[in-house]
Amino acid sequence: DEEPLEEEDLEEDEDLEEDEDDNAIENGSENSLIFGIPKELIPAMRKAFSNLCTSPSGVLFENSLLQVGVKHEYVGAQGRISVFFGNLHSSSLQHFKVKVDQPHHLRMQMQGTQDLLDDGEPDSAGCTVATKTQAKLLVLVEVTAPFDDAPSMRITFETKKGERHDYPLRLPLVATCFMEPVNLDPGAFMQRWKSLEGPDRECQEVMKLPPYSSEIDKPYMDRVSSIIVDGLKFGRCQGVDPTPWTVSGAATFRTGAKDSNGNNINVGCLVRVEANPKAKAFRVTTRTLHPLCSKAIKNVSLVSIKLAM
C-alpha cells in the first residue's frame, strides 16, 4: 500500500457511502466559482477509501493540487488517526480548512495545524499551506455504540488565482477498526452461529465478480482469508467447513460505553465468506446481536473481497 506523506518526502507523483459520490458530483466543476471532485476521480477515491479501511496507512485522495494521507491505529475501543494535507501545487493553498463530522457514536478530540479546523464561524480564515509543505490533523477517537457509516471530512481552500475548492471526503473509520479477534473451534463457532439466527441479527449479500476479474482459486481464497484476519481483524476459525471455498471468522466489537454494572459493552461478531468459483461469486453472511454491526461487517467484507481481485 502507498504510504501517506511524511514531512520530508512530499511527492509530486501521482467508497462505501453513496452520498459521498452524490456530493462530489453536485459540487463538480460545472460551477466555475467552486471546484469539487471531478467525476473521473471518484473510482480512484472509492478504491483508496476501501484500501484504507483494512490498511494502517495510505493515500486517501490525490489530484494535481492536494494529496491527503492517512495513518491510523486502534486498540480496543480507541483509535488514533493522523491526516496529512500535502500541497502539490506550485503556489500556496489559502483559507485551507477542514471540517470533520462528529457523530454521536464517536467521542472525538481533534488538534491540528493552527486555524486548520473549521469551527463553523463565518469569519474563520483557515490556514495557509505553502507549496511542498503539509497541514496536519490528529484525531483521537473512542467508539461508544455500533455504527455502519464513516464520518465525513470536508476540505475547502482557495488558490492564489481565487479558485475555490470544496472536497467532500470520508475518514476510513469503520466498525471493523474496533474489532478484536476471537479464535473458536468448529463446535463453538457453529453453536454461536445457530444461536444468532434471525432477521435482526443476520445480514447477507451475494456479490458476482466482474468478467475481467481473476479466477477464484486457492491463492484468491488465501487473499480473502488474509483480508478477514489482517484487515477486518477477525480470528480465523479453522475446520468449520470441509470445503476450501469458505472462510469463517469471529471477533468482538469493542466500545467504551458502560453497562449498569460498569462493564464495557461489547458485541460478539461472526462472519462467513462462501465462494462459488464456477459462478465467480461470493456470498457474505454476518451475524451479531446488533443489526448495525452485521451490516457494517458485511459492507466492509464485500469491498475488501473486490480488492483481492
The per-residue pLDDT for 140 is 98
Whether 297 has a pLDDT exceeding 70, the answer reads yes
pLDDT-derived band at 27, boundaries 50, 70, 90: very low
Residue 242, pLDDT score = 83
Nearest to 29 by CA among 20, 40, 18, 14: 40
What pLDDT sits at residue 24? Answer: 38
Q: How many CA atoms within 13 Å lie on the side-chain side of 209?
A: 21
Handedness of CA 285, 289, 295, 301 (dihedral sign): negative
28 confidence band (pLDDT: 50, 70, 90): very low
Cβ atoms 225, 236 nearer than 8 A: yes
Asked if 221 and 152 count as a contact pair (C-beta separation under 8 A), the reply is: no
Of 7-11, 80-84, 126-130, 259-263, minimum mean pLDDT range: 7-11
Write a three-state SS string for 245-280: CEEEEEEEEEEEEECCCCCEEEEEEEEEEEEECCCC
For residue 234, pLDDT beyond 50? yes
**How many Cβ atoms from other residues are within 10 Å of residue 264's Cβ?**
12
- Is the pLDDT at 25 greater than 50? The verdict is no
Q: What pLDDT is recorded for position 7?
A: 41
Specify burial of residue 161 (Cβ count, 10 A radius: 0-12, 13-18, 19+).
Answer: exposed
CA atoms within 13 A on the CB side of 234: 29
User: Looking at residue 76, what is its pLDDT?
Assistant: 95
For position 212, what pLDDT does the model report?
A: 85
For residue 9, pLDDT beyond 80: no
Radius of gyration of the chain (CA): 21
pLDDT the model gives residue 245: 96
pLDDT in tens, 99-111: 999 999 999 999 9
Nearest to 131 by CA among 160, 152, 156, 103: 160
DSSP lists the bridge partners of residue 82 as: 71, 138
Report H helices in the chain: 18-26, 42-53, 186-195, 218-226, 291-307
Q: Is the pLDDT of residue 18 over 80?
A: no
pLDDT digits (tens, 9 = 90+) for 167-224: 999 999 999 999 999 999 999 999 999 999 988 899 999 999 988 888 999 999 999 9
- What is the per-residue pLDDT for 21? 40
pLDDT of residue 293: 95
Residue 3 has pLDDT above 60, yes or no: no
| Integer angstrom CA distances of residue 262 from 30, 147, 180 | 54, 22, 20
Q: What is the pLDDT of residues 30-76, one digit of tens each?
A: 444 789 999 999 999 999 999 999 999 999 999 999 999 999 999 99
Per-residue three-class SS string for 163-184: CEEEEEEECCCCHHHHEEEECC
The percentage of residues in the chain with a pLDDT greater than 90, rounded to a whole number, is 79
Residue 149 CA to residue 3 CA, distance in Å, equals 24
**What's the confidence (pLDDT) of residue 1?**
43
Of the given ranges (23-32, 114-123, 128-137, 286-295), which has the lowest mean pLDDT? 23-32
How many CA atoms lie within 13 Å of 164's alpha carbon, on the beta-carbon side? 9
**pTM of the full predicted structure?**
0.86
3-state SS, residue 222: helix
| The pLDDT of residue 17 | 41
In this prediction, residue 307 carries a pLDDT of 80
Average pLDDT, the chain: 89
Cα separation, 264 vs 186, whole angstroms: 27
* Locus of grid cell 492564489: 160
Choose between 196 and 3: higher pLDDT. 196
